[in-house]
Structure 1
């Protein structure tokens, strides 16, 4: 077969036009496909830092917020409670909070907080994952704290687990920081804020 009657310019144009249509079509397919990999707005909000105002939180009061699908307890403690935390160490499994996986480096070992008057804890029992109840120091004879109704684990108001209960670890302290004196940001490490 001879190429005498073939218009090479027309052939080149048709080849380029077909290629361009193919690239545009592939783009129309690829954009929604790649967009489906992005997390939804709900998923982004679930992992976002959570701000907790402290100005209306009174001594002994607890606020529960959700961060990354987990309950987080924020409790304002009195000076009496903070002083009592130092005297209950013999009754605890890990009184100095030596298990560093349970808390950031920047929190104090005894109070397990940046400021002694406010504690921030992930509200999930370290035994089987139930949500403990907050009990004020005036409501129980063991100084108050958190009680897991599932199997009876008790935690003091620093989230430290008592000896002789099913839970083996202290309640986890999430990463958090202060914005001024009256606001906590859960999910942002101290110093990174």
Structure 2
């Protein structure tokens, strides 16, 4: 239904709100993480987020269905403050979206967008193949960030798997935090 796009337009079509968001994004002491609908919203606001101009629009999955499961992703080397120290990490993550396809035909520039995370297959290779990549995005792309790393947009849900017990399987202490908790620790460290 384009919920993230509708959310963004409620900002861009309101001059007072648009000015407030532009000012927020321009401040060097701010940061933000857009997840799922928030990712769609950030991508739609990319023209007012410094360094996000090349981001794609996130549109209907290539499967043309809502996809909900744990999928494997790889965190890429990027300036994202959220993924600091996580490059090369491969982890399962919760996916729950119908519109997660990184569509550069509608907006953005694949050659200039800064990838922060991608879907991988069972061998750890980036993939566009279903069901490993639930939306079919090129190169498995599922997260982008700005050049300064303050703003990151991602389709999967790290907040749904921040504890080991939330994984489909773990050999770690089920009561302990999963590796996804590092995103929140990184954000806290950036603020301090």
Give the TM-score taking structure 1 as reference length.
Answer: 0.28
Q: Which has the higher contact order (CA 8 A, sep 6+)?
A: 2
Give the TM-score taking structure 2 as reference length.
Answer: 0.28
Q: Which has the larger radius of gyration?
A: 1
